[in-house]
Structure 1
Amino acid sequence: MSIDLKLNIDETPVQKIIHPVLVENNISLFVKRDDLTHPLISGNKWRKLKHNLIYAKQNNINQLISFSGAFSNHLYALAGASRLFNFDTKVIVRGPELDTNNPCLKFAAACGVKLTPINRLTYKKRYDPDYLAELQQSKPKCLIIPEGGSNRLALKGMIELAQSLPEVDEVWCATGSGGTLAGLIEGLPENTKIRGVAVLKQADYLNESIMQLSPKAQRQKNWQLLTNFHHGGYGKFNEEIWLFCQSLRHQLPLEPIYTGKLFFTLFDLIQQGHFAAGSKIMAIHTGGLQGLIGLKYRKLI
């Protein structure tokens, strides 16, 4: 079964980056432009949602429940998908209140998503099995999608992405909840090095999450989560990161929360001689460019 948008949004181009740092170090850097999937549901958020939505349609489930922060890429993509595919969606938002002028929340509301704010203490229960069981019991005909969208159904979409990539030495991605990295591990050959750049502080716990999602991650040694390049933590960045994003904007649109940190890390490590001359590297552009609107709203850029 497929979800027909009148276009194949799984097919996105691969772009080669041209830059003096790459020439000087004899490195070929390619980008899988998953930011170009669709204006409303781009990047890894589409990949993660795709098979959740297919599962829901196959099982006659029309209600979705999920969790997110107020400026979340997951919320934006889920809202767009709900509008496009006629789902009745509720999102529990880390609160305690909703800012009605927040552009991400305004978009979600315009798509018909019911937004329910809860306090931060209650929000911490979003992964608690008892809390989720109680929520499922209260809404037996709904599909609960986790914050960030990373679950076993999401993995199918990420595996499809991995299997669409040309042969390279290494594949890199930004890592928030671990689903993208887990899917790449599942879908790529064992001789390909796979690296995730954690965008949040104290992210070592994600190693366990990744291994829970990916059986291959439990036995293979070709992957690594880098946890020292978060630049202040989730949602935080410094002027250096933002200036770097702007320096590449003529070739590649970036935002400083996910993709900016990924490419900044790559260029930093290339300049340090971390990669062998002649290496071919693929970086996954996971979308999230709508986040720039939220950053401007908060006067952070």
Structure 2
Amino acid sequence: MDVPGLVLPSPLQELADERLTTAGVRLVLKRDDLIHPDLPGNKWRKLKYTLVAAREAGAARLLTFGGAYSNHLRAVAAAGALFGFETVGVVRGEPHDPLNPSLQYAVDHGMRLTYLDRETYRRKADPHVLDTLRAEFDDPFVVPEGGSDIPAVRGCAELVAEIDEPFDVICCPVGTGGTLAGIAAGLEEVAPGARAVGFAALKGAGFLSDDVARLQTAALGHTTGNWSIELDFHFGGYAKRNADLDAFLDEFDSRHGLRLDWVYVGKMLAGLFAQIADNAYPPGTTIVAMVTGPDFETATVQTRS
């Protein structure tokens, strides 16, 4: 699809940091946050082929799901505005006034919001729940939470070929698993000696391994054995933060002039630096870390723990 302002491949940026030098490790950022101002990073990669399918199906409206601070809802709203789709966002939980910045952005880009209580939201894939939503919103094209589906795996797999230097490990944040599933699939094709490490942004996210495996099986017919998920760097849970994370974000910004998205990317890099300090990666390792999105100025969210 023709997207004005799209920048691909996204640039690589090697970090100069004495903590890395001491460990003998290279860390290169894959700046997917610079792909597009409204469709940055893994959001464009995950939606690319889904949008093609929606257009080919003649759909007028997209319906998707997300939490109150979902970057995915923002991206679908922006995509709808760019490509002429109406959009509906099904939000987990109860409505709150005023809207937080993420939901306000979605509304400003034409998204209609509706809400499901948490119990019903957990059953959002049930045929009865989906049929009710389809009837209410005139048979929309349904995009899964986080955009994680077979087209997303295909889109995310493409990013590996953009990395034009040797590397050993590629890291990404994990919310619903689509990006990790796709990256690992791309490694199998392009860099079979490398492995992928995902950093879960959610507390109690052990289920994500099953989700990634299921996505790969659906997209590839098999699972790849080249990925794992770190579960201990959620800093309190999804859309939550604490003093340790804030201190890392401030220091990273001071050292490198980059304010990280704290919901996903900041947690991944905080976890990665903690692992490097613990000698989890042998000297000589080159790591690529995905900056999957920018800081969307959600730092006003009062969810500290």
TM over 0.5: yes
| Alignment partners' CA distance in 2, 1:53 and 1:90 | 15
Letter of the 1:103 counterpart: P
Residue identity opposite 1:192 in structure 2: A
State the partner residue of 1:131: 129
What's the secondary structure of 2:261's corresponding residue? coil
Alpha-carbon RMSD: 2.1
| Contact 1:73-1:288 within 8 A present in 2 as well | no
CA contact (8 A) 1:236 1:257 kept: yes
1:155-175 deviation per Cα after TM superposition (whole angstroms, max 9, x unaligned): 121011122223310111111
Residue 284, structure 1, aligned to residue 290, structure 2? yes
Q: Give the letter for the 2:211 counterpart.
A: S
1:62 partner amino acid: A
Q: What is the Cα deviation at residue 219 of structure 1?
A: 4.5
In structure 2, distance between residues paired with 1:90 and 1:179: 21
- Give the letter for the 2:246 counterpart: W
Task: Map 1:1-301 onto structure 2 (within 5 A).
Answer: 2=1, 4-136=2-134, 141-166=139-164, 167-188=166-187, 189-215=191-217, 218-250=222-254, 251=256, 252-290=258-296, 293-296=297-300, 298=302
Q: Is the 8 A contact 2:5 2:36 kept in 1?
A: no
Q: Structure 1 residues 208, 101: CA separation in 2 closer, same or farther (over 3 Å shift)?
A: closer
Query: CA shift at 1:134, angstroms?
Result: 4.8
Residues 235 and 102 of structure 1: is their aligned pair in 2 closer, same or farther, counting only changes over 3 Å?
closer
Q: Secondary structure at the match of 1:249?
A: helix
Q: 1:33 to 1:199 in 2, by over 3 A?
A: same
* Inter-CA distance 192–129: structure 2 relative to 1 (3 Å threshold): farther
What SS is found at the alignment partner of 1:75?
Answer: helix
More displaced, 175-184 or 151-160? 151-160
* Structure 1: distance between partners of 2:278 and 2:16: 18
Quickly say closer, same or farther: Cα 1:100–1:219, change in 2 above 3 A.
Answer: closer
1:226-252 alpha-carbon deviations (Å, 9 max, x no partner): 112222211122111111111111423
CA distance in 1, matches of 2:214, 2:101: 34
| Seq. identity, % | 35
Deviation at 1:298, TM superposition (A): 3.7
Q: Distance in 2 between matches of 1:118 and 1:223?
A: 33
Question: For 1:44, what is the secondary structure of its paired residue?
Answer: helix
* 64-73 or 251-260, larger mean C-alpha shift: 251-260
8 Å CA contact retained: 1:217, 1:223: no
Per-residue CA shift, 1:57-100, capped at 9, x if unaligned? Answer: 12221210011122211111111111111111111112322423
Superposed CA deviations along residues 175-212 of structure 1, whole A, max 9, x for unmatched, are 11000100011111331111111111121111111111
CA distance in 1, matches of 2:101, 2:229: 32
**Corresponding residue SS for 2:246:** helix
The TM-score, its normalising length taken from structure 2, stands at 0.90
Q: Is the 8 A contact 1:190 1:220 kept in 2?
A: no
CA contact (8 A) 1:30 1:281 kept: yes
Q: Which deviates more from structure 2 when the two are superposed, residues 157-166 or residues 133-142?
A: 133-142
Tell me how far 1:135 sits from its aligned partner: 3.7
SS of residue paired to 1:236: coil
2:72–2:147: 8 Å Cα contact kept in structure 1? yes
SS of the residue aligned with 1:160?
helix
Where does structure 2 lack aligned partners over 5 or more consecutive residues?
none
Q: What SS does the corresponding residue of 1:64 show, helix, strand or coil?
A: strand
Structure 1: which 5+ runs fail to align? none
Distance 2:156 2:225 in 1: 19
